[in-house]
């Protein structure tokens, strides 16, 4: 039972470097999400996707880009990392967009930008 | 906009003590309400949910009742265990929101012997 898998689990970047976080789900879910978790702020939505080939902005999208070329994968890109992007990033997926639907989360990626 | 407010932690309890974690929300319409739990080093997982007023969600001895009149969804457990030590997040999802979750800041619970 893989569920939602995030790669990598840890990463340290220098300011200005770029990287891509990969999220893969094996539950055939339509909806996928990227959140960031910061101390004292809970989780905040960065971007989300309602199906293959679609993306939309969430609450804090600046400095990030996403792509959903395949239904099972949702990529989060940082083109030019900044210290303010130091955070724990969580990917999630759900089978549909209904309010009653449970979201399944990955184990997180801890990113430090120095 | 939507928001969720939950009590700040950390909360430290002795094993078998009673637990309450307060959660209130602001949202238009009729949101669904959730409690997610995050064990150390892991992602979030759904603990319980309620989708309409007066619904009670329950799981693993935890309970929460959707109170529309007080816009609250407080989490309770009658007797906590050391294994309940985790961070608990209250969240809401609103109709038309694509199941986007709005989270509270999280409450860390530590249960000691």
What torsion do the CA atoms of A75, A62, A99, B56 make, to the nearest 10 degrees? Answer: 110
Whether B98 shows a pLDDT value over 80: the answer reads: no
The predicted-structure confidence for B70-93, as pLDDT tens digits, reads as follows: 999 999 999 999 999 999 999 998
Is the pLDDT assigned to residue B28 strictly greater than 80?
yes
Q: Which of A80-84, B39-43, B44-48, B107-111 has the lowest mean pLDDT?
A: B39-43
Q: Is the pLDDT of residue A97 over 80?
A: no
Interface test with B, best of A39, A42, A89 (most B CBs within 10 A): A42
Compare A42 and B20 and report the one with higher pLDDT: B20
Q: Which two tokens stand for residue B55?
A: 């619904």
Q: Which helix (H) or strand (E) holds A30?
A: none
Q: Is residue A12's pLDDT more than 70? A: yes
Q: Which chain B residue has the Cα nearest residue A33?
A: B100
CB contact under 8 A, B106 and A96: no
What residue of B is the nearest CA neighbor of A6? B43
**pLDDT per position as a tens digit, B31-57:** 999 999 999 888 899 999 999 999 999
Band of residue A1 on the pLDDT scale cut at 50, 70, 90: low
In whole angstroms, what is the distance from residue A78 CA to residue A20 CA? 6
pLDDT at position B10 over 90: yes
CB contact under 8 A, A44 and B103: yes
Higher pLDDT, B109 or A102: B109
B27 with B92: CB under 8 angstroms? yes
Residue-level pLDDT at A35: 96
- Count of residues in chain B: 113
Residue B45, chain A, CB below 8 Å: the answer is yes
User: What pLDDT sits at residue A102?
Assistant: 85
Confidence of residue B64 (pLDDT cuts 50, 70, 90): very high
**Cis peptide upstream of residue B10 (ω within 30 degrees of 0):** yes
B70 burial type by CB count under 10 A (0-12 exposed, 13-18 middle, 19+ buried)? exposed
Q: How many CB pairs under 8 A join A and B?
A: 66
The pLDDT of residue A40 is: 82
| Lookup result for tokens 């209130």 | B24
- Decide if A94 contacts A31 (C-beta within 8 A): yes
User: And the tokens for A7?
Assistant: 């790669």
Predicted confidence (pLDDT) at residue A52 exceeds the cutoff of 70: yes
- B29 interfaces chain A, CB cutoff of 8 Å: no
What is the distance in angstroms between the Cα of A80 and the nearest Cα belonging to chain B?
Answer: 26
């Amino acid at each position: 039972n893989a569920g939602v898998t995030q790669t990598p689990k840890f990463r340290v970047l220098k300011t200005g470097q770029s990287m891509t976080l990969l999220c893969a789900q094996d539950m055939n879910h339509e909806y996928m999400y990227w959140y960031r978790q910061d101390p004292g702020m809970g989780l905040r939505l960065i971007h989300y996707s309602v199906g293959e080939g679609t993306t939309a902005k969430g609450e804090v999208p600046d400095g990030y880009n996403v792509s959903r070329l395949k239904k099972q994968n949702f990529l989060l890109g940082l083109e030019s990392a900044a210290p303010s992007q130091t955070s724990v990033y969580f990917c999630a997926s759900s089978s549909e967009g209904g309010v009653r639907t449970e979201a399944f989360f990955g184990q997180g990626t801890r990113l430090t930008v120095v | 906009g939507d928001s969720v407010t939950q009590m700040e932690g950390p909360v430290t309890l002795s094993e078998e003590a009673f637990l309450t974690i307060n959660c209130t929300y602001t949202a238009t319409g009729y949101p669904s309400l959730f409690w997610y739990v995050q064990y150390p080093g892991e992602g979030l997982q759904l603990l319980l949910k309620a989708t309409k007023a007066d619904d009670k969600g329950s799981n693993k001895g935890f309970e929460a009742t959707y109170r529309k009149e007080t816009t609250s969804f407080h989490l309770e457990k009658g007797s906590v265990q050391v294994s309940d030590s985790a961070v608990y997040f209250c969240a809401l999802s609103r109709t038309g929101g694509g199941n986007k979750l709005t989270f509270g800041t999280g409450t860390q619970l530590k249960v000691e012997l």
